[in-house]
Structure 1
């Protein structure tokens, strides 16, 4: 039996570019206790930790890859990228 020879190089990872991943656009966060969540009702307002004028984070796999601003594209909400963030910066 002959072992499969080891391969390396960029050719072996090119297929990774076609793998779908979930992209999250994070508006902000808020810590709440369960009783606050249980008592939420229609028209309640949940304040987040981010100011309105702060760029939103584009997050993939728990890492911030870009930041941007909300825009409308037809009837859909979209993100206009205004800043690329170094790969490897952990989401805070």
Structure 2
């Protein structure tokens, strides 16, 4: 058996295994920079203003790497009322491109 056959078999197995690995994507809707004294005084029900507007794009991250931008959407159907993200821009994460 030559090395290409082994490499091809390994790639196929690796791809099948990787297809089932969950990843966590963080959606950033904004940041807040309150003074510590203000943060210590906030109570339940208080409002913490963010640096973005409700209709501004959100950013999607895997770890600390930006992978996409999108718009917040409300889902329809039986799970209506949940938040989802409609992707508007995929960031090129390939080095050297």
Normalised TM-score (structure 1):
0.70
Unpaired runs of at least 5, structure 2: 1-5
Aligned length: 83
Once superposed, what is the RMSD of the aligned Cα atoms?
A: 2.5
- What residue in structure 2 maps to residue 25 of structure 1? 27
Moved more, 19-28 or 51-60: 51-60
State the match for 1:70 in structure 2. 72
Structure 1 unpaired stretches of 5+ = 1-6
The secondary structure found in structure 1 opposite 2:24 is coil
* Offset at residue 61 of structure 1 (A): 1.4
Larger proportion of helix: 2
* Map of 2:38 onto structure 1: 36
Where 1:82 maps in the other structure, the secondary structure is: strand
TM-score if structure 2 supplies the norm length? 0.67
**Structure 1 segments of 4 or more deviating over 4 A?**
7-10
